[in-house]
Structure 1
């Protein structure tokens, strides 16, 4: 949690990783996620998420976490990625 808090404080925003994981989960579970169009949408993460941006946030979080924690997060992300 310390590594994520530092990442959010210095490079992202408060709760960025939690928001990205929650939004990625919602997005891939949503039946219309295959209709995502990068040229449309409002740009608000909770309304019209941008999958590459969400994945970038999650990938950065994995990169800064200690190995054990990174593996745990990677497993959570992999389950969601299979739905994408």
Structure 2
């Protein structure tokens, strides 16, 4: 989970994130992340966390989503 959150944070803050092309890249999350896959992972994690932890993570993700 922390790797997915760190990668999502890095990705949305990276100046070239808007140039993402689903047909390009190596497929390695740390190098060429797939945004829909990252968000899916984070959404799954939110659903299995205890309610308070889920709310905290959801707020973090929502703030990052604003950058996307």
Aligned to 1:23: 7
Deviations 1:8-52 (A, max 9, x none): xxxxxxxxx111000000000000000000000000000000001
- Structure 1's unaligned 5+ residue stretches are 1-16
Secondary structure of 2:66's match? helix
Q: Size of the alignment, in residue pairs?
A: 68
- Structure 2's unaligned 5+ residue stretches are none
Q: Which has the higher contact order (CA 8 A, sep 6+)?
A: 2
Structure 1 stretches (4+) deviating beyond 2 angstroms?
Answer: none
Aligned to 1:54: 38
Deviations 1:38-82 (A, max 9, x none): 000000000000001100110000000111110000000000000
Aligned to 1:32: 16
Secondary structure of 1:83's match? coil
Asked which structure has the greater CA Rg, the reply is 1
TM-score of the superposition, structure 2-length normalised? 0.98
Q: CA RMSD, aligned part only?
A: 0.4
